[in-house]
Amino acid sequence: MASPIQPESGDPGRAVEDYVKAVFSLGRASGNGQASVGALATRLGVTPGSASAMVKRLAAQGLVVHEPYKGVVLTDEGEALALSVIRRHRLIESFLAEELGMPWDQVHHEAEVIEHVVSDTVVDLIAAKLGNPTHDPHGDPIPARDLTIADHLATTTLWDAHDGATMHLASVSDTDPAMLRHLAECGIRPGTRITVVEHQPFDGPVVIAVGRTRHSIGPSLARAMRLGDAGDSG
């Protein structure tokens, strides 16, 4: 989970960036670009009242539009800010992992802090140093300098994949370090070729094969793993 923020007493710039980033992520997950106030509160570890007050502030700044009983949607300005923060976050994660050797289960937490204080000039230098990567260590797309970003339209979660399918791990949620450590112990990272053996009944684990080794993946982790076509692991 993301670290709780305190929009009333903490750094207002950080709070704004955290909120627009959360609206963007939740909106993409919902498929309609909308994020509920309740979902924002849960994502950011604040009370619904605090989230509602912050949404009003963001709307006054022209960063979001809030339709009561429907959801919060980013404006063009809000989306540009969200993508800028996401670009910083994912490039910092990549730098920490590739240049400093930090384990992939630790880089998310560190990037959550650094993303709010590093300049875009430094971020561009990081991108150049890394060869302008397109994906972070967890397989998530990194927005380009012009803030365009690739979609995950051709991916599905492991939970929703059909038995017998052979695919590759495209990305995995970076919010739970324990999940990432478990996958690392199993030798599974973005690009790993995975065969879905079977879904156990009654919401049981999904059995997968990686090479000759089988692993049982619990429902929460299976829903956090996104798979792509095996021919596009690239």
Contact 210, 188 (CB under 8 A): yes
Q: In degrees rounded to 5, what are phi and psi of residue 76?
A: -60, -40
Split into its structural domains, the chain has a count of: 2
pLDDT, mean over the chain: 91
Q: Is residue 123 part of a domain?
A: no
Asked whether residue 25 is domain-assigned, the answer is yes
Tell whether 144 is covered by a domain. Answer: no
CATH number for the domain spanning 174: value is 2.30.30.90
Task: Let me know if residue 83 belongs to a domain.
Answer: no
Instruction: Choose the final residue of a domain: 52, 74, 96.
Output: 74
The percentage of the chain sitting over the pLDDT mark of 70, rounded to a whole number, equals 92
- Identity of residue 65: V
Q: Is the pLDDT of residue 184 over 80?
A: yes
pLDDT at 1 over 50: no
Boundaries of domain holding 58 = 12-74
Answer with the one of 30, 48, 74 that is the final residue of a domain: 74
Task: Look up residue 43 and give its two tokens.
Answer: 């994502």
Q: What is the CATH number of the domain that holds 61?
A: 1.10.10.10
Q: In the listed set 74, 95, 123, which residue is the last one of a domain according to the structure?
A: 74
pLDDT of amino acid 92:
98
Q: Which residue has the tokens 């619904």?
A: 48
Contact partners, residue 100, CB within 8 Å, separation at least 6: none
> Which residues are bridge partners to 18 per DSSP?
none
Question: Is 151 part of a structural domain of the chain?
Answer: no
In a domain, 6, yes or no: no
